């Protein structure tokens, strides 16, 4: 049986870039079955108080993979919205790996002055189900001068060891483990122990450790030294935006939220719904298109994925891209340029 995917366009530029990813899909693999959940968005949340229903979740589970645009709208201020969609998907589907490759798109897009240091080619592996994003905590003495807000930073042996193990499995030469064990000792000690155990299981892979502040600096000053970087949910969130900027820009950065045990994945651009440019036609579709390529590569369509990657690079080489990458094309024209390169 063929590949069946669900698509969740979401909010803001989400539907704009996802429409273009689907146009690319139609060009490379028209046989893929697509189920679009276009009701899961801020409008539905504002009306009903719940955007992602149990029925939606069942449809997603019944498919092979999910392609998502972005979730978030300035009109919805409740944190329950993003938690109820994106975090619910990541947590309930146990998508414990958030994998974010960062490969230099074009030398002119690098913020680095030294040409010898520009060639970032790494993968940030972000823990995706625990850390600081579990919502465990609370507020005491609210509205008093003694108000105290606590967000627990949760690390479990199960959670930390499996994400570090994944980092070692996908590494080509080295895994750099990032934490803040000098200041956050309990989780830090657990990360360090899981790191040593995983390193022992993978003697062929070199390994190193950096504190997160130094890791952020090194991603900017000497990014070519990294192969795979593994970090907690919050640290990985931040480091992957840094890596995306060093690689050429947030608008082109893809990601995969994975459960390596089942092979199910939620693929999405790293960027959000960009309300500041939504509706203006300038959103870069390459992050969504590259996320589709990751989806295809993981689901038996290696050749099509490779063709999309090559086409993306050549459109950027020719400046046939959106303004954020130095081009002058609209969202739709930039995707059409990718499709033209595929032909
Ligand atoms: P953002 O990623 O949406 O935008 C940051 C900046 O990058 C903006 O100036 C935006 O115009 C620009 N940008 C982003 N994507 C672009 C693209 N494809 N082409 C050209 N420029 C692009 O992050 P922000 O502004 O912090 O968040 C906006 C909303 O998105 C919020 O509601 C936030 O919660 C949500 N969000 C959702 C994510 C998701 O669904 N995975 C991830 C990050 C944010
Ligand atoms: Mg982020």
In angstroms, what is the C-alpha Rg of the chain?
20
pLDDT at 213: 98
pLDDT digit string (tens) for the chain, length 343 residues? 699 999 999 999 999 999 999 999 999 999 999 999 999 999 999 999 888 999 999 999 999 999 999 999 999 988 889 888 998 998 899 999 999 999 999 999 999 999 999 999 999 999 999 999 999 999 999 999 999 999 999 999 999 999 999 999 999 999 999 999 999 999 999 999 999 999 999 999 999 999 999 999 999 999 999 999 999 999 999 999 999 999 999 999 999 999 999 999 999 999 999 999 999 999 999 999 999 999 999 999 999 999 999 999 999 999 999 999 999 999 999 999 999 999 7
pLDDT score, position 87:
87
Q: What is the pLDDT of residue 273?
A: 97
180 is a catalytic site residue: yes
Give me the residues paired with residue 254 across strands: 269
Complete domains list, the chain, with CATH: 1-108+251-343 (3.40.718.10), 111-247 (3.40.718.10)
What phi and psi, each to the nearest 5 degrees, are found at residue 132?
A: -85, 0
Q: Is 14 in the pocket of ligand 1 (CB under 6 A)?
A: no
Euclidean distance between CA atoms 39 and 174, whole angstroms: 42
In this prediction, residue 147 carries a pLDDT of 98
Query: 318 catalytic, yes or no?
Result: no
Residue 79: the pLDDT is: 86
Whether residue 324 has its Cβ less than 6 Å from ligand 1: yes
Sheet holding 228-231, edge to edge: 33-36, 4-10, 65-70, 264-269, 254-259, 97-103, 121-127, 228-231, 174-179, 206-211
Testing ligand 1's pocket by substitution, the residue of 70, 254, 316, 321 carrying the most ligand atoms inside 8 A of its CB is 70
CA 293 to ligand 1 center in whole angstroms = 20
- Tell me whether residue 11 is one of the annotated catalytic residues: no
| Distance between Cα 8 and ligand 1 center (Å) | 16
Closest ligand to C-alpha of residue 72 is 1
Find all residues with CB under 8 Å of 63, minimum gap 6, and list them: 4, 5, 6, 35
Q: What is the ipTM of this complex?
A: 0.97
Which of 77, 79, 128, 271 gets mutated to test ligand 1 (max ligand atoms within 8 A of its CB)? 271
CA distance 110 to 221: 12
CA 340 / ligand 2 centre spacing (Å): 31
């Amino acid at each position: 049986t063929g590949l069946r995917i669900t698509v969740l366009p979401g909010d803001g530029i989400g539907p704009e870039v996802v429409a273009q990813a689907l146009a690319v899909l139609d060009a490379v693999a028209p046989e893929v079955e697509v189920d679009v959940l276009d009701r899961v968005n801020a409008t539905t949340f504002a009306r009903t108080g719940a955007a992602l229903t149990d029925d939606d979740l069942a449809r997603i589970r019944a498919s092979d993979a999910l392609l998502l645009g972005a979730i978030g709208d300035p009109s919805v201020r409740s944190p329950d919205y993003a938690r109820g969609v994106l975090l619910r998907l990541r947590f309930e589907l146990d998508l414990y790996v958030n994998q974010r490759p960062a490969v230099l798109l074009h030398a002119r897009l690098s913020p680095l002055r030294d040409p010898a240091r520009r060639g970032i080619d790494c993968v940030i592996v972000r823990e995706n189900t625990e850390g600081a994003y579990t919502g465990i905590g609370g507020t005491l003495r609210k509205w008093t001068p003694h108000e105290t807000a606590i967000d627990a930073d949760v690390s479990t042996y199960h959670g930390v060891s499996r994400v570090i193990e994944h980092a070692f499995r996908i590494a080509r030469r080295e895994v750099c483990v990032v934490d803040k064990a000098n200041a956050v000792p309990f989780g830090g000690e657990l990360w360090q122990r899981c790191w040593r155990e995983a390193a022992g299981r993978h003697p062929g892979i070199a390994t190193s450790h950096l504190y997160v502040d130094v890791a952020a600096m090194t991603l900017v000053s000497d990014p070519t030294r990294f192969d795979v970087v593994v970090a907690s949910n919050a640290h990985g969130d931040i480091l992957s935006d840094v890596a995306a900027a060093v690689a050429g820009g947030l608008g082109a950065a893809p990601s995969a939220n994975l459960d390596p045990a089942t092979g199910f994945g939620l693929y999405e651009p790293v960027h959000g719904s960009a309300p500041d440019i939504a509706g203006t036609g300038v959103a870069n579709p390459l992050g969504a298109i590259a996320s589709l390529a990751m989806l295809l590569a993981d689901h038996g369509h290696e050749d099509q994925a490779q063709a999309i990657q090559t086409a993306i690079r050549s459109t950027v080489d020719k400046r046939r891209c959106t303004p954020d990458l130095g081009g002058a094309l609209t969202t739709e024209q930039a995707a059409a340029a990718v499709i033209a390169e595929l032909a």
